[in-house]
Homo-oligomer: A and B are copies of this chain.
Amino acid sequence: MNGAESLVATLVESGIDTCFSNPGTSEMHFVAATDKIEGMQPILCLFEGVVTGAADGYGRMKGTPAATLLHLGPGLANGLANLHNARRASTPIVNIVGDHATYHGQYDAPLTSDIIGFAKPVSGWIHSSVSAKTVAADGARAVAASMEGQGQIATLILPADTAWNEAQGPARPLPRPVLPAADPRDIDLAAKALKAAENPILYISGDGLYGEGLEHAGRIAEATGARLMCPTSTPRRERGAGRVHVQPLPYFGELIEKKLVGVDTLVVAGAKPPVSFFAYPGKASWLTPEGCEIIYAAHSHDNITASLAALAEAVGAAKSPTRRNEKKTEMPSNADALDQFSVGKAIAHLLPEGAIISDEANTSAAGPHRACSTAAPHDWLSLMGGSIGQGLPLATGAAVACPDRKTICLHGDGGAMYTVQSLWTQAREKLDVTTIIFSNKSYAILNVEFERVGVGAPGERALSQLDLTNPELDWVKISEGMGVPASRAETLKDFKAQFEHSMHNSGPHLIEVVL
């Protein structure tokens, strides 16, 4: 058994059965090992940003990591932007990067680079294996490291000779790290603050936004009168009919400030107090109102669900929340204009139970987001680190993780270009993903931001940096070129028919919504 086989066997025994990959020569022994060792499914992606974004989507939905397989420093580099997003989502990922053989680095061959340097800004844990004899144990540690806190990126660098030399055998899997339980002093403080407050908010992220955690949040809100809010972007949020309602903050800082006027207590569970996404001349960066007390019931590395449970007990909450979203959707009329609001209503009306929505629609997201709050229950996955090009791969990985659920990807046209290669993997793996491209032919958010940063009206050259006409992207051709059937909706009637067809059939499909 060589090092690569010992590593793959260890990963499989540690519960990793999926590897999103874009390998090269130095990873061929790992690739070969997936044939020799049962239980690891490699999924080829044609660009590394798809690999890492898919691993993010997979990890968010499963709560356990997928592996990646990347080709040396430059392969890792291409995956860094979506690893940045995954880091902000606290997603567990075992990020495997092949390297030259340990003795080859000294020759500075063309692909040689500072892999640890590339990995550092996104990784919670990094190790470069030095021997085939220990690479299995390194793998076991990487898996455990990836599940610390809510999750993090554990980068394991695999020199080619640690893959091809003789190994000792697979390593024993390590136990999953135990998250710190709720701190009774913090819970006590939070409970007292919530009871004493006039206008409190319980501000949640992480696993406080789905499953048990969300139920406890609902209990606390009903017992204390606190409003339930969450950051603008959250890794995974259960929404829709039957679910406890949590209101995300808006995107722009001045709107967040408005929302928080008069709030005297912010009890935080797994989130950070709100700040402006960007700085703007003359606008605030820190958005908690002056004088508002901030209490941490749980930090993001804590067991947020357990903390919310303890807090619910401490405030004397009822066993179960009673206020839940009701189901309420309505199909918009064919006569309505085709825009994000009519499209959103149609999506909400046709949304199957248990759908997963990967949202990178940015300026077109408000319509679907609002309409779906009373649709069938679903999961909503946001762009976490602000690095556009997350949505398509995230949907890809979520669909791999949850093959029995419908995945819907809402995407702006500008952002969708960054990792458009995702479509090929969706076609290859026959993933049940419906992609909706809101084709407004511009970096629409930048047109807004240009105004907001206060540089006056854009001139000709500036405008040329914001618009995506000349030429217009033809999303139907691009999608079909990568093997995903596609259609174009120029009216709401078109969209309704195309989306309904997609909801009643399995497999990938793309709809270009012409705005």
Q: Which residues of A contact B (CB under 8 A)?
A: 21, 23-26, 28-29, 31-32, 34-36, 40-42, 44, 46-47, 49, 73-75, 77-78, 80-81, 84-85, 88, 100-101, 103-104, 107-111, 113-114, 117-118, 120-122, 160-161, 164, 233, 272, 275-279, 281, 285-286, 384-387, 389, 414, 417-418, 420-421, 424, 427-428, 445-446, 449-450, 452-456, 458-462, 464-466, 468, 470-483
Contacts and interface: CB of A to CB of B under 8 A. Distances in A.
A77 B81 contact: yes
Contacts of A164: 281, 453-455
Nearest to A110: B386
A450 B74 CA distance: 20
Nearest to A272: B108
Contacts of A480: 474, 477
Given A160-B453, A472-B483, 11 more contacts: A29-B453, A29-B455, A46-B418, A47-B389, A74-B84, A74-B386, A77-B84, A78-B81, A109-B277, A420-B421, A428-B470
Contacts of A446: 23-25, 28
Nearest to A80: B77
Contact of A278 (B100, B456, B482): B100
Q: List the number of copies, as a whole number.
A: 2
26 contacts: A24-B446, A24-B449, A25-B278, A25-B446, A25-B453, A34-B462, A35-B459, A35-B460, A73-B121, A75-B81, A77-B80, A78-B81, A78-B389, A88-B110, A104-B285, A108-B272, A109-B277, A111-B385, A118-B121, A164-B455, A417-B421, A428-B470, A471-B482, A472-B483, A477-B477, A479-B481
B387 A453 contact: no
